Homo-oligomer: A and B are copies of this chain.
Amino acid sequence: MSDLPTHVHITEVGPREGFQFEPPHIATADKIRLIDALSQTGVPEIECASFVNPKVVPQMADVFQIADGITRHAGVTYGCMWLNEKGFHQAISSGLYTPALTSTSASDTFLMRNNNRTPDAQIAGQIALRQAYSDAGLGSGPIYLFTAFGCNYEGAVSVEQAMLRAADLVAVCEDAGTPPTCITLCDTVGAADPAGVRALVEAVRTRWPDYPVALHLHDTRGLGIANAMAGLELGVARFDASVGGLGGCPFARNRSAAGNIATEELALLCDRLGIETGIDIPALIKAAELAETIVAHPLSSKLAHAGLFTPKP
């Protein structure tokens, strides 16, 4: 465990990715309440919303109210996502943090089935988006590689295929004179295992030693925290996670499938390994309880249910 990082940056994605998966009836005030609670847990970055078509994703119809309603704390970054230029301009106007993100899927079949795009069309779209970022005065930003370890259509995605699509995105960024700030490998459908995480992280590191690797892991099949451990052992120092394990997986066989790895469990793992996250775990467990109250069904986090391991007198 010699390559463990000394500090890990965890981005809380529950309000964006989690609420997107829930039925659309959750009150805007509750979403704001959760983001405000998360703001006081030491989590350094919170993804608040997606700027997407509300006809397609009605859960995100209140993104501007959320952006206006939250109480912004110093030291916390309030981010968001988008898929195209229209969404990007909305994101800018919301005042949320808008890093210049470029993305594609490692699985070409997933890209076609889920986004109706060929790899070439996707890259053309990313070049146009990258130009819009430059026009808006943004410099370098992160790369997101979806389905980096597998998808529900193709099964496992090979390291070679994932590297091919990662290289497409790196070229988009480098050609624009804005090398990526990090390469986020996303286990979109919960297909990864520790050996696969190790293989892809090492391949990306070897090819692009100057670009930090981040991991966006899902716990769909219960291996999420072992996958995170594999990343930590290689020195990966940026992770996405969701409070309480808020969210799910639209690509699993039913709605009871788990979502992202739980932020408080990842924070506990880091804490036990002597890695700083800045997170107040008891406060985060309370936020997970609030999230569970808001969605009105049990969340998948085990730590949130058991509580911290505090000795009884």
Q: Which residues of B contact A1 (CB under 8 A)?
A: 194-195, 198
Tell whether, in the assembled complex, residue B273 and residue A194 are in contact, meaning their CB atoms are under 8 Å apart: yes
Residue of B nearest to A307 (CB): B253
Tell whether, in the assembled complex, residue A191 and residue B309 are in contact, meaning their CB atoms are under 8 Å apart: yes
- Among B155, B226, B262, B269, the residue within 8 A (CB) of A309 is B155
Residue of B nearest to A253 (CB): B307
Q: Which residues of B contact A191 (CB under 8 A)?
A: 309
Once A223-B269, A226-B228, A300-B302 are accepted as A-B contacts, the answer to whether A190 and B309 lie under 8 Å apart by CB is: yes
Asked if A61 is an interface residue, CB under 8 A from chain B, the answer is no
Q: Which residues of B contact A229 (CB under 8 A)?
A: 194, 226, 229-230
Once A193-B269, A195-B273 are accepted as A-B contacts, the answer to whether A302 and B226 lie under 8 Å apart by CB is: no
User: How many identical subunits does the complex contain?
Assistant: 2
Q: Which residues of B contact A24 (CB under 8 A)?
A: none
Q: Which of A195, A257, A309 has the most CB of B within 10 A?
A: A309
Interface string of A138-178 (1 = CB under 8 A from B): 00000000000011111100000000000000000000000
Asked if A25 is an interface residue, CB under 8 A from chain B, the answer is no
Tell whether, in the assembled complex, residue A152 and residue B222 are in contact, meaning their CB atoms are under 8 Å apart: no
Once A223-B268, A268-B223 are accepted as A-B contacts, the answer to whether A189 and B309 lie under 8 Å apart by CB is: yes
Q: List 16 A-B contacts (CB under 8 A).
A: A1-B194, A1-B195, A155-B309, A189-B309, A190-B309, A191-B309, A193-B268, A196-B272, A221-B268, A222-B301, A223-B225, A223-B269, A225-B226, A226-B228, A253-B306, A257-B305
